[in-house]
Amino acid sequence: MMIHFKRNWIAKILSLLAAIVMWFFIMRDQNPVMEVTYTVPVQVQNLASNYIVEDAPPFVRVTLSGPRDTIISMKNDVLKAYIDASGVGVGNNNV
């Protein structure tokens, strides 16, 4: 029985490598890369109570690119966009 495993081992290794390469090509075709754009509300965090925010965008556009099954399983409510205002001082600040 071991004689069958030891014969033609180069052909067996090449066949295994060819099968792995073909599997990657087939999976890429079955699960192509796609791109989806979401609109996400912007939240201001860590802002002192005596400061106000002006000209902050209410929404931002987020574009995700990845395998089709991962992008389809992505939920819009999981995405978060925020402005961290913890280091702001008196006057105009770019954050």
Decide: 42 and 58 in contact? Cβ < 8 Å. Answer: yes
Supply 33's token pair: 């890369």
Task: Specify the DSSP element, H or E, that contains 65.
Answer: strand 59-67
What is the pLDDT, as a whole number, of residue 76?
Answer: 77
Calculate what percentage of the chain has a pLDDT beyond 90: 26
Condensed to tens digits (0 to 9), the pLDDT of residues 60-88 reads 999 999 888 888 888 878 889 998 988 88
Position 70, amino acid: T
Domain spans, the chain: 1-30, 32-95
Rounded Cα distance between 59 and 40, Å, is 5
Lowest mean pLDDT among 4-8, 14-18, 73-77: 4-8
Task: Specify the DSSP element, H or E, that contains 59.
Answer: strand 59-67
